[in-house]
Amino acid sequence: MSPVVIFAIFSFLLGAAVGSFLNVCIYRLPAGESIVSPPSRCPACGARIRPWHNIPILGWLILRGKCRDCGAPISPRYPLVELLNGLLTLALFLKFGPSLTFLVLFVFCSALVAITFIDLDHQIIPDVISLPGIVVGFACSFVLPWLGWKSSLIGIVAGGGSLLLVAWLYELFTKKEGMGGGDIKLLAMMGAFLGWRSVPFIIFASSLIGSVIGVTLMLIQKKDGKLAIPFGPFLAAGAVLYIFYGKAIITWYLTLGAR
């Protein structure tokens, strides 16, 4: 096997293994529990998960989605989160190769996966991820030439500031609280990791994806505007889209006007 294939397989396994850790974060962080101890237990009977059943994706398949001790069903979301993070990491490796950029964006995207599922479950984006994320993103900008500390710093201010403005205007006109503080800190973190150019793209893309999915859900559920959909997952989708296709989409958009 060529080294590239071996690295590609390794990147998928790395992503899936970290996905297994993300599952722990997704379930324990919102409850304020430690993510280090105790070791994984069945939520139904409390039996300890055996190490070989903790193998990403495969463990769940071996158990056929049931606890070995009490037979309680184990959510298919566990292997799905592992698979998703594995594929995302593989895609990052195929795009950026074995590089510092790959490592930094791997950490960033893993954080986005955890944030997405926590926001879907609880409508919150934990500060323990987004605030250190802003600092880590800014620190990484010093070693990533395509990013640069100035673009990262402006990204933090533009990301946080623009959503803060939207939230403020929304409250001013509707007298209701719309955009959560968590979304503001999340976009600041994205600006830190991806630079200021990503901010307008992410706002536009996430609003577009959010409206399409929001309207679809309302039509399916026949509810009128009372559906509370968290915005974090759409911001995350916008950021991932920017990483893989941002340049291509912006170039395509700009050439539209030149025609």
CB distance 76 to 48 below 8 Å: no
Using DSSP's 3-state secondary structure scheme, residue 191 falls into: helix
User: Closest approach of Cβ 32 to Zn ion, in Å?
Assistant: 23
Instruction: Based on the shown chain and the rule CB under 5 A, indicate whether residue 42 belongs to the binding site for Zn ion.
Output: yes
Shortest Å, Cβ 45 to Zn ion: 3
Which of residues 28 and 41 has its CB atom nearest to Zn ion in the complex?
41
Q: Is 135 in the site for Zn ion (CB under 5 A)?
A: no
**Stretch near Zn ion under the rule CB under 5 A, chosen from 65-73, 88-96, 142-150, 245-253:** 65-73
Angle at CA of residue 173, ends 170 and 179, nearest 5°: 15
Our CB check for Zn ion shows the closer of 45 and 165 to be: 45
DSSP string, 73-112: B--THHHHHHHHHHHHHHHHHHHH-SSHHHHHHHHHHHHH
- Does 203 interact with Zn ion (rule: CB under 5 A)? no
Among 68-76, 89-97, 221-229, 233-241, the segment contacting Zn ion (CB under 5 A)? 68-76
- Give the binding range for Zn ion (CB under 5 A) out of 70-78, 140-148, 152-160, 183-191: 70-78
> What burial letters (b/e) apply to 206-218, b meaning 16+ CB within 10 Å?
bbebbeeebeeee
CB 149 within 8 A of CB 173: no
When asked if residue 69 is in the footprint of Zn ion (CB under 5 A), the reply is yes
39: left (phi over 0), alpha (psi -120 to 50) or beta: beta
Per CB under 5 A, the segment of 46-54, 88-96, 112-120, 144-152 that binds Zn ion is 46-54
Number of residues that bind Zn ion (CB under 5 A): 8
The answer to the question of residue 61 lying near Zn ion (CB under 5 A) is: no
Whose Cβ is closer to Zn ion: residue 63's or residue 229's? 63
Does residue 44 interact with Zn ion by CB under 5 A?
A: yes
> Distance between CA atoms of 249 and 226, rounded to whole angstroms?
33
Is residue 103 involved in binding Zn ion (CB under 5 A)?
no
- What residues have CB less than 8 Å from 242, skipping those under 6 apart? 194, 198, 201, 202, 205
- Closest approach of Zn ion to the CB of residue 67, in Å: 3
Is residue 240 left, alpha or beta, with left meaning phi > 0 and alpha meaning psi from -120 to 50? alpha
Task: State which of residues 61, 70, 135, 227 lies at the interface with Zn ion (CB under 5 A).
Answer: 70
Which residues contribute to the site for Zn ion (CB under 5 A)?
42, 44-45, 47, 67, 69-70, 72
